[in-house]
Amino acid sequence: MNALSLNIHAIRAIYRFEMARTRRTLLQSIVSPVLSTSLYFVVFGSAIGPHMNEIAGVSYGAFLVPGLIMLGLLTQSISNASFGIYFPRFVGTIYELLSAPVSPLETVIAYVGAAATKSTLLALITLGTAALFVDLRIDHPFWMVAFLLLTAVTFSLTGFIIGIWADNFEKLQLVPLLIVTPLTFLGGSFYSIDMLPPFWRTVTLFNPVVYLVSGFRWSFYGHSDVPVGISLGMTFVFMLICLAVISWIFRTGYRLKR
């Protein structure tokens, strides 16, 4: 094994371990997005939707779908990845990872890969559930998948950072609850930011989620709040920031090594 080659066996071992954890909790993992998606459609799509105008040429129910999927994807990516690395730290089994010939890159590929796999699967389940309620159209399937994967990876990286930073379960919940959920709700998941007054529109542009939801929605209906190129660029920027933080974590051993 030279310096350049990856410890593939280790990546596979961690990935499979994490996916086994997912399988053990499969039912609750699937039930919750299916249930919450259905509820959103019952409340927003069926009860409120008929009283709403079409937005950018699509029904309100259909308009909701990309935002809902993004909401689930962000929440799931963060919670899966943060839990995946926090738990071994909490129970102490992290000793094995730290003593193994595994590089930071391999660690991140395995943990983030597993978390992103799970959240992407759940996003697809949400998409499937939504298709039962509204007529869906996907103009740019390739970009739809690209945004899905990019977002899953980026927010799994964020989750990984949170899982290392957190030193108790409360903190593990704190960031998703206090930052991610508000950003998602205020990020145009349920409305077009064109509907906001100019001042709030500008404020909104500092919200990273806006770019994700906008780009993702464009891949469905060909309409976006901000240019797609900017959405894509911003997503990459967030990803790079996460990668920089993670590389700092491993370089300094922050909260990993004594």
Partner 1 sequence: MSEAPMIAIEGLSKTYASGFTALKNVSLTIDRGEIFALLGPNGAGKTTLISIVCGLARASGGRVTVGGHDVVTDYRAARSLIGLVPQELTTDAFETVFDTTSFSRGLFGKPPNPAYIEKVLTDLSLIDKRDSRIMTLSGGMKRRVLIAKALSHEPAVLFLDEPTAGVDVELRRDMWRVVRQLRDAGTTIILTTHYLEEAEEMADRIGVINRGELMLVEEKTTLMRRLGGKRLTIELAEPVAAVPDMLAPYGFEISADGRKLVHSYDASGEGSAIAPILAALAGTGLAVKDLGTEESTLEEIFVGLVGGKS
Interaction of residue 23 with partner 1, rule CB under 8 A: no
Interaction of residue 24 with partner 1, rule CB under 8 A: yes
**Cβ 102 to partner 1, closest distance in Å?**
6
Among 27, 28, 53, 91, binds partner 1 (CB under 8 A): 91
**Which segment (93-101, 132-140, 150-158, 175-183) binds partner 1 by CB under 8 A?**
93-101
**Which segment (17-25, 42-50, 118-126, 171-179) binds partner 1 by CB under 8 A?**
17-25
Lookup: tokens for 36: 């919450």
- Tell me the backbone φ, ψ of residue 190, rounded to 5 degrees: -115, 0
- Tell me the backbone φ, ψ of residue 86, rounded to 5 degrees: -70, -40
Among 19, 30, 98, 105, binds partner 1 (CB under 8 A): 98
Q: In sequence order, what DSSP letters do the residues of 92-110 get, joined into one string?
A: STHHHHHHSS--HHHHHHH
**Which segment (12-20, 55-63, 116-124, 231-239) binds partner 1 by CB under 8 A?**
12-20
Interaction of residue 95 with partner 1, rule CB under 8 A: yes
Neighbours of 176 (CB within 10 A): 20
Q: Are 156 and 81 in contact (CB under 8 A)?
A: yes
**Cβ 176 to partner 1, closest distance in Å?**
24
Would you say 95 or 169 has its CB closer to partner 1? 95
Would you say 95 or 200 has its CB closer to partner 1? 95
Contact residues toward partner 1 (CB under 8 A) are 1, 3, 7, 9-10, 12-14, 16-17, 20-21, 24, 91-93, 95-103, 253, 257-258
